[in-house]
Structure 1
Amino acid sequence: MPSLTLNSENREEVAAALAGDRWIVACLCAAWCGTCESYRATFDELAARHPDKLLIWIDIEDQADVVGDLDVENFPTLLIQHHELVAFFGTMLPDVGVAHRLVQSTTAQSDEELQELIINNSERADWQRNCNLRSLLRNAL
């Protein structure tokens, strides 16, 4: 199954999907970025490897009112979230094997384990305040 692409017409549908129990893996990219353009097929392959997760492609310029405050330093950037817990936010090598291992290892953690990591790491605590995709999309609706 290919990934979803967030756009102005499907925001409510995506928000409803985000409200579910599945892990969320979002790729934050830009249309002008050549690396992102070539990574799209890789991200769809990642979606096929993880059909139990919700994979979302987000163009940070087209969806600036949703993700405008996120500090995307380079492309592609992945955001991995479960419920209201942001488990990962960072630049990703454009390699499906690396992304697959990251998704596997991150989603193997329980919410309790994620909470412990958040409590003990200021960067992860910042992710909770600034990178929660569910909150960002709710605020943009």
Structure 2
Amino acid sequence: MKKFLLSTAMGAALLLGGFSATGLATPTKTEAAGFEVMLHRSGYFSNYVTSQAYSGKYDSRVKTYSLTHGSISSNSSVKGTYKVYIQTRKNSKSSWKTIKTINATKNGKTTFASPKITNGYSYRFYSVNSGTKKRVNFSMSWVPWAN
């Protein structure tokens, strides 16, 4: 009986503590911004396509960041794969360097994550459709995550 009363009292205390901690607290900017971190890009190409350059400039305390929870959904009239290169560069005068190669399916979904990218470097996606030059429709999404 003592154990039952003790566990009931602890459960009630946890329930009230959880309600007061979450029910009365207002969301912070970080929590609200967390819903808008995923970046999207969509379109089509037949030969190759280059994305815009995305800058990765974070607070000076952040040393590296990476692209996580990435997915590419594609559809085409032909089967096979195409390559998506994740490329980085330090400034607009330097050349792009490939850090990751992704083999995306032309009909289906492909997931990816990048290696760590140094803070201050920008990145882009470079897609190449080798072989048959039929149109490929794609939709990409990813989350830049500071480490």
Shared fold per TM-score greater than 0.5: no
Structure with a larger share of its residues in helix: 1
Structure with a larger share of its residues in strand: 2
TM-score interval w.r.t. the shorter chain?
under 0.3
Bigger Rg, structure 1 or 2 = 2
Structure number with higher relative contact order (C-alpha < 8 Å, ≥ 6 residues apart)? 2
Normalized against structure 2, the TM-score is what? 0.24
Normalized against structure 1, the TM-score is what? 0.25
